[in-house]
Structure formats: structure tokens, C-alpha cells
Amino acid sequence: MGITIKTPEDIEKMRVACRLAGEVLDYITAFVKPGITTEALDKLCHDYMVDVQGCIPAPLNYAPPGYAPYPKSICASINHQVCHGIPNDRPLKKGDIVNLDITTIKDGWHGDSSRMFIVGEASILAKRLCAVTHECLWIGIDRVRPGGRLGDIGAAIQHHAEAAGFSVVREFCGHGIGANFHEDPQVLHYGKAATGPVLEPGMIFTIEPMINAGKAAISELPDGWTIVTRDRSLSAQWEHTILVTERGHEVLTLSAGAPPRPSTLP
């Protein structure tokens, strides 16, 4: 299909959809506590998107080729779950780490963002994995500029994750986004700098590294969606939707409550 270049009008609509995705994460933050179920978080996010924001939750009934329709409105991936965890009736417990992944559709345009949440107090390893993965996201974002190459992003992320002793999931990647949930290009979170497509103003894609505390290998659960680490080690993920601008980039899914670019980065 090729990488679409968004027009100024498209970009304005993407700014709205993306900010709304960030605002769902802001809204749900106060509810992520020991005892709440991910099903309850799903319902709260669904109702906020539909009734307050006037959005469609993109995951609900989403069915890419080879997949059964996704049954819920958000993804909630706990501990060794890498991504696409389906909200259920098990309560969160102190020490869990959970990724909530929100994709809104507003006026036909998609905004996609996810964050990690620490339930109560987590282990030093769990906290470090969440922090390093957040750094990986921003190290990737730092590489986004016109004339840069897509491979610059993955190479920087892989280097940072592996220097910390962690591993990068290979089977899932960031993606172009706009009128479609998933479009070209594929944004790998590993690879070689100075390779891949040249970045141009008007491109919009996600960066969403999945980083494992143990080995990189994953498996899919029998529900056909949930991805887990094969060695059952912890996994973390953070996601933003990014626009390539004339001068660099704009992080479209930033919202008032989004954790800022880590001050620990150079």
C-alpha cells in the first residue's frame, strides 16, 4: 500500500484523535489500583471514549486477517503478557505491572497510545523494566526527523534495551496509522541504523517497543490474541503516535497526564 503522507487537514484530525487517546490514559490512571479487574477498566474506558469523547474504541471487534474479532475496547497486558491481553474478571494485585493500550477513532482517524502502570508497589526489576522501556520509546522518538531512516529508530531502541540486559520482542512492531488502525510502514524496534525508508514530513506512525526482562521469544495463548513471553519473564511496553514534521517530529498522543520524556536521557 505504501506509506501515506498526511495533508495538513488530515494532521489536524490526527492531532484530535491522538490527544483523546492520551486523555483516556489520563482518565483511567486513578482507577488502576489493587482489587480492580481489567474488565472494569475496559468498561470505564469504553464509556469514557463513547459517552464523553464521542469516539469509537478501535479494538472492539477489530479483526485483522487470521484473527477472530477482538472482544473488548482496550488491551490490558499484565506481567508476562507482552501485548493484546484481553480484559477479564481477575482483580489486579499489588506488585502487578500492567500495560493499558488505547486506540480511539475520532472522525474516522485513529490515535494509539499505551502506558505501563505499577499496581501498588512493584519489585525493583519490574520498576526498572518499566523505566527502561519508557526510555526506549523516547530514544526511538528522538530519532524521528525528515531525512532520517526508519532503521535508526529500531537500532537505537535495541541498543538501549540490550545494554540494560533486556531483550526486544521481534514479532510485533510499530505501524503507520491514520484512516487505518494499522498501515505501512512497519516500525521495527530492532535492526540497523541508516537502513529502511527515508522519513518525510507528513508521515505518521507509532513507536511501541515491547521489552522483556528475559528472552525475546513469545507465544500466543489459546484465546488467539494474548501474547506472553515464552519464558514467562516480565514484559513492558509504552506507545506514542508520532508525526514527522519539517523540523523533526511532534508526539501526537501527548496529553496533560502523559509522563514526560525521561530527564535521565542525554
Binding flag, residue 167, ligand MF3 (CB under 6 A): no
User: Cβ 57 to ligand MF3, closest distance in Å?
Assistant: 9
Binding flag, residue 239, ligand MF3 (CB under 6 A): yes
Distance of CA 197 to the CA centre of its chain: 21
The residue from 23, 42, 96, 101 that contacts ligand MF3 (CB under 6 A) is 101
What number of chain residues touch ligand MF3 (CB under 6 A)? Answer: 12
DSSP, res 49:
I
- 111-140 positions binding ligand MF3, by CB under 6 A: 112
Distance, in Å, from the CA atom of 71 to the CA atom of 25, rounded to the nearest integer, reads 20
Distance, in Å, from the CA atom of 155 to the CA atom of 149, rounded to the nearest integer, reads 10
> Strands, DSSP E only, in 38-133?
56-57, 75-78, 81-83, 97-106, 109-118
- 180-209 positions binding ligand MF3, by CB under 6 A: 206, 208
Task: Assign 138 to helix, strand or coil.
Answer: helix
Closer of 23 and 101 to Co ion (Cβ): 101
**Contact residues for Co ion, defined by CB under 5 A:** 101, 112, 114, 206, 208, 239
Q: Sign of dihedral through CA atoms 174, 176, 178, 182?
A: negative
Closer of 71 and 146 to ligand MF3 (Cβ): 71
Closer of 190 and 198 to ligand MF3 (Cβ): 190
User: Cβ 45 to ligand MF3, closest distance in Å?
Assistant: 12
Closer of 75 and 126 to ligand MF3 (Cβ): 75
Distance, in Å, from the CA atom of 193 to the CA atom of 186, rounded to the nearest integer, reads 15
Query: Could you tell me the three cell numbers for 108?
Result: 474516522
Say which amino acid occupies 35: G
Distance, in Å, from the CA atom of 228 to the CA atom of 93, rounded to the nearest integer, reads 19
Query: Could you tell me the three cell numbers for 88?
Result: 477479564
The residue from 28, 75, 161, 188 that contacts ligand MF3 (CB under 6 A) is 75
User: Cβ 132 to ligand MF3, closest distance in Å?
Assistant: 19
The residue from 70, 109, 166, 190 that contacts ligand MF3 (CB under 6 A) is 70
Q: Which residues bind ligand MF3 (CB under 6 A)?
A: 59, 62, 70, 75, 84, 101, 103, 112, 206, 208, 225, 239
